[in-house]
Amino acid sequence: MSARLIIVGPPGAGKGTQAGRIASTFSIPAISTGDIFRKNVAEGTPLGQRAKALMDAGEYVPDDLTNELVRDRLAESDAEHGFLLDGYPRTVAQVEYLDGLLAEQGDALDVVVQLVADQDALVDRLLQRAQEQGRADDTEETIRRRQQVYQEQTAPIVAVYQERGLVVDVDALGGVDEVGDRIADALTARGLPAAV
């Protein structure tokens, strides 16, 4: 069974943890654009060298370069039967690029999993994590700013996918297994039963 998925959620919603679980469940790679950038930079690929030069200069990696990196990653054999994207697409232009890329392969997205939670609860969760991990820079002010930036950047992309009926909202509050079960139930309801 193939599954082509995207996961979105505000900072603190447990996106990274749940992405790994979903990927394992469906035997597909969890693909984070941050990981793609780091891998290409570490390997010194031509795309990685271009990305590194931009990042070293404090610039954002533009859509065209991000799209190329994602295209290369999705062409790898482990993504042949599906993938879970985390951190991509981030712009409406990237949504359109991904549409075209999948259409070339005769594929389309199956589901966009949106982890949702009360903002104050997530701020509390992140403040507790910051205290446990000694992250002095994770203040309530910086956490709330990251939440605001996430909402501003992600809302237009989620709106596009909502219009297409692809978004499933999953309550992100609770234990890791509890949230994982909610995601599994939501995907099964959309016709994507977990691989056995």
Say how far apart CA 104 and CA 9 lie, in whole Å: 28
Identify whether 89 is preceded by a cis peptide bond (ω within 30 of 0): yes
For the chain of 196 residues, list the mean pLDDT of each consecutive stretch of 10: 90 91 93 87 89 80 89 93 93 95 94 95 90 83 87 91 97 94 94 72
Give the largest Cα separation in the chain, rounded: 48
Residue 111 pairs with which residues in a beta bridge? Answer: 5
Domain limits, the chain: 3-189
Q: What is the pLDDT of residue 61?
A: 80
Task: State the sign of the Cα–Cα–Cα–Cα dihedral 81, 179, 151, 123.
Answer: negative
Strand order in 82-86's β-sheet? 30-32, 82-86, 3-8, 111-116, 167-171
The torsion angles phi and psi of 115, rounded to 5 degrees, stand at -80, 125
Report the catalytic residues.
Answer: 15, 90, 129, 135, 146
Alpha helices for the chain (secondary structure H)? 15-26, 33-43, 46-56, 63-74, 92-104, 119-133, 140-163, 176-189
Judged on CB neighbours under 10 Å (0-12, 13-18, 19+), 169 is middle
Task: State the sign of the Cα–Cα–Cα–Cα dihedral 136, 116, 89, 62.
Answer: negative
Q: Are 89 and 83 in contact (CB under 8 A)?
A: no
Say how far apart CA 10 and CA 152 lie, in whole Å: 11
Q: How many CB atoms lie within 10 A of CB 105?
A: 11
Q: What is the pLDDT of residue 1?
A: 64
CATH classification number, 3-189, choose in 3.40.50.300, 3.40.50.620, 3.30.450.40, 3.40.50.720: 3.40.50.300
Q: What is the pLDDT of residue 11?
A: 87
Q: What is the pLDDT of residue 54?
A: 81
Q: What is the pLDDT of residue 139?
A: 87
The amino acid at 110:
D
Q: What is the pLDDT of residue 195?
A: 57
Task: State the sign of the Cα–Cα–Cα–Cα dihedral 78, 82, 87, 88.
Answer: positive
